[in-house]
Amino acid sequence: MELILSFAAGVVACGLALPAISWLRGRIASYRQSTDAEANQVTTVSQVLHLAVQGSPTALTVLDRSQEIVMSNPAAHEMSLVHDRAVNPEVWETAQHVFEDKEKRTVDIAIPKRRTGHRVTQVKAVIKPLTLNDGRFVIIYGTDESENVRMESARRDFVANVSHELKTPVGGIALLAEALLQDAGDQETVEYFGNKVYKEANRMADMVSELISLSKLQGAEALPEMEPLAVDDLIEEALSRNHLAAEARSIELNRGASVGVQVKGDRSLLVTALSNLVSNAINYSPEKMPVSVSQKVVDGGVVLIRVTDRGIGIAPDDQKRVFERFFRVDQARSRQTGGTGLGLAIVKHVVANHGGNIKLWSRPGTGSTFTIELPIYREEKPAQDAGMKDNEKKDAVTAAAPGLPRAVARVAARRKDKAQ
């Protein structure tokens, strides 16, 4: 009997002890968490300064006269002002002059790509005394100028390209006009050179127009207000714009099956982008070879519009540059067809401004496929409308089975009575 009582007492004690132990463990864990949280809190000015310096996107480095690095932050290492506990040689050379005359100096540093993973390529470093009273230290502020340098280089190239491209038709028009003046009495000569002048003038006008369009797309002006547009209508209009050009070369324009989706955008810009791709496919295809435009919905929210030709194709090295301004795969063919070298650049920016992407697949001798990816537009239904539809469904069910709500109520009442 005593054994049974002892066993029962042990069971009761264990039953009481287990919840107590569990509660105690919870309290200990909670205390540890609160202690850790308090330890991680910023409580002093020195902690604030340390976190601000270490998290700053501006590179910060403090040097002494012996070239010892007193302090540096992660940005200084990322911009290669500091590497393996050694300061950049160009920075140190300039810092020595600052130590001598205490004058602020600026140095532009070109960073080798191998040292920064191809991200930071140009850094502007400002070097000045840490204080005017204590000449033992200098501080270096570094900023990433890679994007600014890249944009400035692109602007210079753009101006040079525009000057060259406009100079060509202007020079051609001048020579043709001179030829006309020398033999103005010959009707056949006048017609021949007159047509040439007309063609060059139109080419220059097209180039100026496309330059203006490209400038707008790159942010010079705000984009027009977007509206829902049927993809089928955009493709139809782009094909109709190129119907005569295709007919002149006996090229059949094939259109794929409709998917019946909409995108949100500017009609004029999207039609221009698609028309440029179709025109490009026609110009770089042999006669009597078809050009096709198809569409496909993927991932439920993206529509792919593909323009495919069976033309000369594009070499792998040129594929990386086809969307650059004024780049032409075949200079002779481009001039023959009146191309400006801006069509694909315009396509790229139109698609980007509509939240999409453009991809290229090409093989020399086989052909090319340009694929535009655009987000599908689906009109959002207001919550009120959704609620009204739910009510309509309920009303429809009631009308179809008028006794159903009452039957459900009776079953619920019986279950309630049984529970009581």
- Distance, CA of 255 to CA of 236 (rounded, Å): 9
Are the C-beta atoms of 82 and 70 separated by less than 8 Å?
A: no
Find, among 116, 119, 95, the residue nearest to 105 by Cα: 95
The stretch 279-295 carries a mean pLDDT of: 91
Query: Tell me, what amino acid is at 182?
Result: Q
The stretch 384-391 carries a mean pLDDT of: 48
Query: Tell me, what amino acid is at 113?
Result: K
Segment among 220-224, 246-250, 310-314 with least mean pLDDT: 220-224
Instruction: For residue 403, tell me if it sits in a domain.
Output: yes
- Domain ranges, residue 404: 383-419
Instruction: For residue 300, tell me if it sits in a domain.
Output: yes
Say yes or no: 246 and 317 in one domain: yes
Instruction: For residue 127, tell me if it sits in a domain.
Output: yes
- Written as one string, the DSSP assignment of 26-52 is HHHHHHHHHHHHHHHS--SHHHHHHHH
Task: Determine the pLDDT at residue 202.
Answer: 74
Higher pLDDT, 214 or 318: 318
pLDDT band at 220 (very low <50, low <70, confident <90, very high): very low
Residue 278: partners with Cβ closer than 8 Å, 6 or more residues away: 238, 239, 241, 242, 253, 291, 293, 307
Last residue of a domain, one of 200, 222, 244: 222
Beta bridge mates, 80: none
pLDDT band at 418 (very low <50, low <70, confident <90, very high): very low
Phi–psi pair at 117, nearest 5 degrees: 65, 30
- Distance, CA of 215 to CA of 33 (rounded, Å): 57
Task: Determine the pLDDT at residue 135.
Answer: 87
Q: What percent of the chain has pLDDT over 70?
A: 69
Task: Determine the pLDDT at residue 216.
Answer: 63
Structure tokens at 134: 């204590």
Task: Determine the pLDDT at residue 409.
Answer: 47
Say yes or no: 93 and 127 in one domain: yes
Instruction: For residue 206, tell me if it sits in a domain.
Output: yes
CATH number at residue 162: 1.10.287.130
Task: Determine the pLDDT at residue 386.
Answer: 45
Task: Determine the pLDDT at residue 137.
Answer: 94
Say yes or no: 186 and 314 in one domain: no
pLDDT digits (tens, 9 = 90+) for 191-204: 887 887 877 777 77
Say yes or no: 199 and 235 in one domain: no
pLDDT digits (tens, 9 = 90+) for 34-66: 655 555 677 788 888 889 999 999 999 999 999
Instruction: For residue 39, tell me if it sits in a domain.
Output: no
Structure tokens at 361: 């697949």
Say yes or no: 280 and 375 in one domain: yes
The stretch 102-130 carries a mean pLDDT of: 81
Instruction: For residue 369, tell me if it sits in a domain.
Output: yes
The dihedral sign for the CA sequence 16, 17, 22, 26: positive
The stretch 258-278 carries a mean pLDDT of: 90
The yes-or-no verdict on residue 219 having pLDDT over 80 is no
Say yes or no: 387 and 358 in one domain: no
Rounded to the nearest angstrom, the gap between the alpha carbon of residue 249 and the centroid of all alpha carbons in its chain is 37
Number of domains observed in the structure of the chain: 4
The yes-or-no verdict on residue 377 having pLDDT over 80 is yes
Are the C-beta atoms of 107 and 96 separated by less than 8 Å?
A: no
Crossing angle for the helix pair 146-182 and 187-215, to the nearest 10 degrees: 160
Say yes or no: 189 and 300 in one domain: no
pLDDT band at 17 (very low <50, low <70, confident <90, very high): low
- Range list of H helices, 216-311: 231-241, 243-248, 267-283
Say yes or no: 198 and 337 in one domain: no
CATH number at residue 89: 3.30.450.20
Task: Determine the pLDDT at residue 70.
Answer: 92
CATH number at residue 318: 3.30.565.10
Say yes or no: 202 and 325 in one domain: no
The yes-or-no verdict on residue 415 having pLDDT over 50 is no
Count how many residues are written for the chain. Answer: 420
- In order of 155, 173, 183, 204, 287, the CA distances from 169 in angstroms are 22, 6, 21, 6, 27
Say yes or no: 286 and 215 in one domain: no
pLDDT digits (tens, 9 = 90+) for 62-79: 999 999 999 999 999 988
Say yes or no: 354 and 259 in one domain: yes
Last residue of a domain, one of 121, 144, 167: 144
Find, among 223, 278, 265, the residue nearest to 376 by Cα: 265
Query: Tell me, what amino acid is at 133?
Result: N
Instruction: For residue 10, tell me if it sits in a domain.
Output: no
Are the C-beta atoms of 81 and 88 separated by less than 8 Å?
A: yes
Type and span of the H or E element at 122: strand 122-129
pLDDT band at 163 (very low <50, low <70, confident <90, very high): low
Task: Determine the pLDDT at residue 419.
Answer: 46
Task: Determine the pLDDT at residue 9.
Answer: 61
pLDDT digits (tens, 9 = 90+) for 364-373: 989 999 999 9
Say yes or no: 248 and 333 in one domain: yes
Segment among 140-144, 220-224, 263-267 with least mean pLDDT: 220-224
Instruction: For residue 18, tell me if it sits in a domain.
Output: no
Long-range contacts formed by 151-159: CB under 8 A, 24+ apart = 158/325
Rounded to the nearest angstrom, the gap between the alpha carbon of residue 67 and the centroid of all alpha carbons in its chain is 42
Last residue of a domain, one of 222, 237, 268: 222
- Distance, CA of 66 to CA of 138 (rounded, Å): 11
Q: Which residue has the tokens 């919840």?
A: 19
